[in-house]
Amino acid sequence: MTTPLSERRRTQYIEVHGRVQGVGFRPFVHRTATALGLDGWVCNVNGHVELTVTGRPDALRELVARLRDQPPPLAAVRRVEVTDVTDAPGAPPARAGFTVVASQADPSTAPREIPPDAAICDACLAELFDPGDRRYRYPFVNCTDCGPRATVIEDLPYDRERTTMRRFPLCPDCAAEYADPADRRFHAEPLACPVCGPRLAWDELTGEDALRAAVRVVDGGGIVAVKGLGGYQLVCDATDAEAVARLRRRKRRPAKPFAVMVGDLVAVRRLARTGRTEEAVLGSPQRPVVLLPARRRGERLAPAVHPGTGRLGLFLPTTGLHHLLLRELARPLVVTSGNLADEPLATDDAAARRSLGAVADGFLTHDRPIRARYDDSVVQVACGTVRVLRRARGYAPAPLALPVAAPVPLVGAGAQLKHTFTLAEAGRAHLGPHTGDLADAATYDAFAASYAELTRLTGVAPRVVAHDRHPGYLSTQWARGERRFERCIAVQHHHAHVAAVAAEHAVTVPFTGVACDGLGLGDDGTLWGGEVLVADLAGYRRVGRFARAPLPGGEAAVRHPWRMALGYLHGLEPLGGPRPGPALVRLFTDRLDAREARFVRAMVERGVNCPPASSAGRLFDAAASLLGLGDTVSYEGQAAVALEGAAGPLRPGALPWRLARAADGLWVYDPAPTLTALLEGVAAGVPVPRLAAAFHTAVAEATAALVARAVADGAPTTVCLGGGCFQNLRLLGELTGLLRARGMRVLTGRAVPVNDGGISYGQTAVAAAVLEGEG
C-alpha cells in the first residue's frame, strides 16, 4: 500500500537567527518538536541555532511557524532559513526522538547576537520566598526566562562552559534540572542553587549572615556597596535625609537625582503617578529606571533624592538579592551606580574596594565574576510611548535594524558625553552599553575594553569608522588614531542626531530634521545646537536655526549658566528685535558678583574666548539663570531640568518670540523678545512657574514656525526630532502637537536615545548610507 504524499516523512535543516541564545530557545524547540511528533536535534552554533528535523510535512510547517511567531518571551527571531536535507549535505541526519546536542563552533564571520540580562521572573520569585523550596532565599535564583546573560558571557556559542558560571560545577540536583527537557531550567546556563552556586559575602561572613550584616548597616543610616548584575551599586535608605546627604558628599554628586528602588507597583504608586504603559515597562524583563511625576503628597523621601525636579526615577528589583534587601528593609532604597562622579561603574572586586572604600560603609559582594559592565537603563514615557534615555542593562547590546545595510563592517565612535559606540554589519547595529564622559581616563579605558570585548563576541570587525567632526572629542581622536580602520567618515553632530531618529524609524527618503541640543561643531566653525535641517541619511543642508550667542569662557559657560545669560544679554546676534534695557539687565546682574559680571561682560564685548553658539540647550540654561533657578550646575542639563520642573502643569500663553532673516540667509529664531519678556515678568513679580511655562511654549512655537517656513519652501513634512533637549517632555509634547496640527508626521527616538547616547547609532546609519551611495 502506498503512503499518501501528505503523510510521507521529510527531513529539513533549519537555521534560526536573531536573539536565540540565552533565552531558552533550545528547550522551546525541544518541547515544540516533541509535541509535534518530530525527530531530530537542535544545537547552538556561534550566535544562532541550527536544527535538523524529520516528520510529516504538516508538522514541519507548524514547527517553522511556531519558531517564527511564538518564540520564548526573551527571544527575538529575525530570520528562519529552511532547507531540504538533501540540499544541505553538511547537516547531519535526523535521529529517532528529539535531542539537544552539544554546541558547535562555526568558523564563519557572520555577526552574532549577545542576549541582554533579564530581571528575575515570577516563577523564580515565587521560589525565592517559598520556605519549602530548595532555593528559598537564594539570591542568585534564575531559569531560562531570567537572570544574567550579557554580563556573564565569555564567548559564543552560549553554553555554561563559556560563561563565568563555569567556575561553579552543577550539583546532582541542578544537573538533573539542566538535563530534563520538561524542566524550565533545561539548559539554563546560569543555573545555580545554594549547594553549588555563587555565595554572598560580607568580609568573613557568607550567605544569610552577610545579608543580615548589610541590612543592619542600611537600617542604621549607612551606605552599602552591593555587587549587582553589571557592576556595583551604592545603596542607602531613601527616606533618611542624613544618609542621602552623606552619599552625595562621598560620591561627589551634589545634585544629580538618585534612582530609587521599591518592592512592587503598590510602592511605586505611593511615590509617583503612573499609567498602564509606565507600569508595564516597570515590570518588564528589562527593569529600567522609569522617570515618573513625583506625588507631592506621596510617601516621604529625603529631599536630596531628586532636588530641582518634579520627576522621580523609580525601578523595581532586578535580582533576587534586590528583593531580599527590600523585603528585609521594607522601605524605598536609593540604588545608584557604584562609582565616583564621572568614573566608570566598578565591576572588579578589588578595584571596587579601592574606588568605593571611602564611600561605602561595607561591601555586600559575591564570587561570580562580572564579565561585562552594564549600568541600569533609564526610560521615560512621552506621548504614550516608552523612550529610552540610557540604553544599558536589559536593552544593550541587542541589535537594532539599519535601514540602509552597511556594505562593510562599521563602527560609530560616538560623542564625548553619554558615550556609546555602535558596531554595524549588513542590516544590524549593535548599540553598545552606556559608558559616560570620556574625559575621565578610567571611562576612556572602559570604552576601549568594551569595544574590544564586543567586537570579539559579535564577530563584527569594523573596517570603517564614523566619528564626530569635533577634533577635540576623545572619540574622534580614537577614531583617527586607530590604524586598523581603512577609512574615517566625519559626521556632523546634529546630522547624526536626526539621522538616528530617521534610521530607527526606517526613513530612507529626505526628511526635515530638528536638532535641539547642547553643543556640536558646525560646518561654519561655530557651535550648533538649535538647527533645522533638510536631510537624508547621507547628507543635509541647514535651512533654519536659533540665533547665536557667545559662550563666555567656553566650557565655563556650560558649568555656570549665569555666564550664558550674560552672553545673551550683551552679545546676542543682532537681528533687529527689542533687547532688554539697562534697568532689566541690572535686575539680573545686581544679584551676581559685581567683579565677575564686569569681567564676563568685557569678555563678550571684546570677543575674547567667547565662541558663538546657536544652541537650544544653552538658551534654556540662560532662561533658568534669569529666573534664579540655577547659576551654577554640577551635571549637564541641570539648569534645564530645573526650568522644566518649575513649569509644572501650567499652560499659560507663550512669551513673545519672532523669526528674522540672518546675514547668512537663514530664517532664525530671535529669542531677544522672549528674554526681554522673561525679565519684565521677573520685575513685575510674575510667579516663576508661570514664566518658565510660558518660555517653553515660546520656544516650541518659534521652532514650529521655523519648520513651517522650511516646509513652505519645499522641505519634507516628515519631521525627525533629535538632540538632548527632547528629553524635556514639555518641549517635546508642545512641539509635536504644533507640528501635527500643521499636518506633519513627527518622529523621535524610542529604542535609541535622543541624547548623545544615540549619536553613535546615527553615525553608523550615515556612514552606511554614504558608502552605499558610493556604490
Active site residues: 26, 44
Kindly give, in sequence order, each residue whose CB lies less than 8 Å from that of residue 69, ignoring residues fewer than 6 positions away. Answer: none
Kindly give, in sequence order, each residue whose CB lies less than 8 Å from that of residue 538, ignoring residues fewer than 6 positions away. Answer: 766, 769, 770, 772, 773
* Residue 428 contacts residue 79 (beta carbons within 8 Å): no
* Residue 397 contacts residue 762 (beta carbons within 8 Å): no
All three cell numbers of 256, joined, read: 544629580
Q: Prior bond to 561 cis, omega within 30? A: no
Beta strands in 610-744 (DSSP E): 612-615, 658-661, 667-670, 718-722
CA angle centred on 745, ends 740 and 751, rounded to 5°: 115
Q: What is the DSSP string of 572-604?
A: PPP-S-----HHHHHHHHTTS-HHHHHHHHHHH
* 3-class secondary structure, 204: coil
Q: Which residue has the cell 575674547?
A: 608
All three cell numbers of 738, joined, read: 504644533
All three cell numbers of 217, joined, read: 548597616
* 3-class secondary structure, 455: helix
> Which amino acid belongs to residue 754?
V
* Helices 638-647 and 729-741, packing angle to 10 deg: 70
Considering only CA atoms, which of 740, 728, 739 is closest in space to residue 692?
A: 728
Cβ of 732: how many Cβ atoms within 10 Å? 22
User: How many residues does this entry show for the chain?
Assistant: 775
- For residue 387, what are the β-bridge partners? 380
Q: 714: buried, middle or exposed (CB in 10 Å: 19+, 13-18, 0-12)?
A: exposed
Backbone phi, then psi, for 22, in 5-degree steps? Answer: 80, 15
Q: Where is 715: in which H helix or E strand?
A: none
* Residue 235 contacts residue 325 (beta carbons within 8 Å): yes
Q: Report helix, strand and coil shares of the chain as percent, to nearest 5.
A: 35, 25, 40
Cβ of 131: how many Cβ atoms within 10 Å? 6
Q: Which residue has the cell 546676542?
A: 572
d(CA 142, CA 119): 9
d(CA 380, CA 728): 10
Q: Which residues of 586-616 are buried (b: 16+ CB within 10 A; e: fewer)?
A: ebbbeebeeeebeebbebbeeeeebbbbbbb
Q: Prior bond to 157 cis, omega within 30? A: yes
All three cell numbers of 121, joined, read: 521572573
* Residue 738 contacts residue 374 (beta carbons within 8 Å): no
Considering only CA atoms, which of 306, 314, 259, 310 is closest in space to residue 281?
A: 314
Q: What is the DSSP letter of 610?
A: -
Mapped to the 3 state alphabet, what secondary structure does 708-764 carry?
Answer: HHHHHCCCCCEEEEECHHHHCHHHHHHHHHHHHHCCCEEEECCCCCCCHHHHHHHHH
